[in-house]
Structure 1
Amino acid sequence: MPDHLKDAVIAEANSVREASQDVLMSGAYLYPFKGIFYFATHKGLWGPFMSRAGRTISLGMGVTTAMFFFTYVPQMAVMAFTSGPLAAISAALLMLSESSTITNLVSRSFFVEDALIDTFDGTLIAREQEPLVAQGRQVKPRSSGRDAVARLGKVFTRPFARLKPQALLRSLIFLPLNLIPVVGTLLYIAVQGKRVGPELHARYFQLKGWDARQREEWVKKNRGAYTGLGISAFALEMVPFASIAFSFTNTVGAALWAADIEKATQ
């Protein structure tokens, strides 16, 4: 492993370790799982996901096919030194995780941006947070038979940026950690989770009207909670062939936490 990667991994691992107690005490790591249950039991939130399912599945199949064609054999050769006779299976599992990560990064930036915004805002509406959502978009009045997503109107501003080269580069730089059985994968999830946690609340920060300084101060104050949220969310999105579905349930979970924060401060 290159020295610069070792230094980066050690620094990130130490940061996560220092925040480990806060991670456990916050309980924020449970919200991605709460999001799964809430999404499954609220059909009104399914629309945005269903409208993007076809394109994202096609993207996932294309990325997975390309990854296996171009990189499976080289990675299996490397895994032979760490996994021995199980190298073929370990490499296949690694390829699926890598493909899920890449698919999720690309789809979130180009295919599901609007759908994730609608899912986040719709969850807030369902949790009685209309005034907060109204800071970022039109909210239609209640009417018989109209679900939370159907009440969403025109969006004023959009917080989700297109694919940032540094985000993709960061993910690719740390991907080799997965070549280390178990421990390497856990480190990879921890490193990426620290980044993902605050990103899941990008919409919340925008609806609050916070500037960069306010966001940084809030995240710093709640670093353990956001790290826990990110670790759980990223681990779920590594599940082969289900990463896109989990990106929606993670969005629901993040919105549930935002709603709970709002209720606690009212």
Structure 2
Amino acid sequence: MADKVKEVAVEEFQQAKVLAQDAVRSGAYLYPIKGIVYFLTHRTLWKPLANKLLPTLSLGVGVTAFMFAFTYVPQAAVLTLVNGPLSILTTILLVLSESSTIFSVLSKNFLIDDALIDTFDGTLMTRNLPTLVGTDRQIKSNSDPMARMGKIARKPFERFTPKAIIRYFLYLPLNMIPVVGTVLFVILQGRKFGPSAHARYFQLKQMKKREREEFIAQRKAAYTSFGVPAVLLELVPLAGIFFAFTNTVGAALWAADMERNHPGTTAPNLRNQAELAGKSE
């Protein structure tokens, strides 16, 4: 039995090592930071955020204040039994995490969903990928990349599902484990966040469900390494709204680099459109 346990442990370690190496080689963990820099240096991308800033900040303040007023004390009492003196810090992190999730669900579904899509598409336009964006919206003649985009043709993919929300709250008890539990919680959230950040990219590429699943499976480590820092950034109270937009920019920059470096990943329909566009020019 001891030999079997040792064998399984070695296999798990080797798998984790390979995933870690893949994540480092991908460089995907840098894109949330690249997104911040790119967003700050491209004023044309600020418009969607500016239009939604006031109502979204108001929602964030309200959700955070409500959560601390009504959930901090009971959760602190429970965590004191588990974490002792660390319960003050772990409870604060837990409430901030809960507030951030509720805020993200509400804001991304009811306030900023369209703005994030415009930011993603606008970033692709600044990277000179109008053919990709043009699979789902009209492209106008204008010098401003954001002004060139017309209305969206199809309903965007759903950003949050009941299953995803249930899974999140199932992971919450991990925060009761000091330090290690919180790290595991963030990693698990990051693993799901990464692929969801490219939902718009998959739509623009006209990928079928199986194609998306295969695409994600081949880049599992990369998507997790993107998702972890992105999740951490969006956990920052109130500033999370800003980082939601910069993470979107980072995801779009990564998608643009994929298109430049690996043109073979382009969906057949999109390749045909690109060839026709090239001939017309």
Distance change >3 Å, CA 162–CA 129, structure 1 → 2: closer
Tell me if 1:203 matches 2:200: yes
TM-superposed deviation, 1:14: 10
Distance change >3 Å, CA 241–CA 15, structure 1 → 2: farther
Tell me if 1:261 matches 2:252: no
Contact 1:178–1:188 under 8 Å retained in 2: yes
Moved more, 71-80 or 29-38: 71-80
Q: Secondary structure at the match of 2:151?
A: strand
Moved more, 154-163 or 72-81: 154-163
Contact 1:96–1:240 under 8 Å retained in 2: yes
Amino acid at match of 1:226: Y
Provide Cα deviations, 1:195-239, integer angstroms capped at 9, x if missing partner.
Answer: 111111111111111100111111111111111111121111111
- What stretches of structure 1 of length at least 5 have no aligned partner? 1-12
TM-superposed deviation, 1:87: 2.8
Which residue pairs with 1:38 in the alignment? 38
Contact 1:197–1:229 under 8 Å retained in 2: yes
Which residue pairs with 2:219 in the alignment? 222
Which residue pairs with 2:267 in the alignment? none
Contact 2:157–2:203 under 8 Å retained in 1: no
Amino acid at match of 1:205: F
Amino acid at match of 1:209: Q
Q: Secondary structure at the match of 1:138?
A: strand
Contact 1:106–1:163 under 8 Å retained in 2: no
Q: Distance in 2 between matches of 1:57 and 1:219?
A: 33
1:180 to 177, 180, 185: 177
TM-superposed deviation, 1:158: 3.0
The TM-score with structure 2 as length reference comes to 0.84
Amino acid at match of 1:166: K
Q: Greater CA radius of gyration, 1 or 2? A: 2
1:251 to 233, 248, 252: 248
Q: Distance in 2 between matches of 1:247 and 1:14?
A: 34
TM-superposed deviation, 1:19: 2.2
Q: Secondary structure at the match of 1:95?
A: helix
Q: Distance in 2 between matches of 1:251 and 1:66?
A: 27
Amino acid at match of 1:94: L
Amino acid at match of 1:257: W
Identity of aligned residues (%): 53
RMSD between aligned residues:
1.9
Amino acid at match of 2:47: G
Correspondences of 1:142-153 after superposition (within 5 Å): 142-143=142-143, 147-153=144-150
Q: Distance in 2 between matches of 1:15 and 1:185?
A: 22
Q: How many residues matched?
A: 251
Contact 1:101–1:237 under 8 Å retained in 2: no
Amino acid at match of 2:255: A
Provide Cα deviations, 1:104-152, integer angstroms capped at 9, x if missing partner.
Answer: 1221111111001100000000001111000110111133xxx221211
Moved more, 183-192 or 169-178: 169-178
Contact 2:83–2:176 under 8 Å retained in 1: no
Contact 2:120–2:252 under 8 Å retained in 1: yes
Correspondences of 1:1-266 after superposition (within 5 Å): 19-143=19-143, 147-161=144-158, 163-266=160-263
Contact 1:16–1:227 under 8 Å retained in 2: no
Q: Distance in 2 between matches of 1:176 and 1:156?
A: 41
Q: Secondary structure at the match of 1:141?
A: coil
| Larger relative contact order (CA 8 Å, sep ≥ 6) | 1
TM-superposed deviation, 1:241: 1.7
Moved more, 89-98 or 117-126: 89-98
The TM-score with structure 1 as length reference comes to 0.88
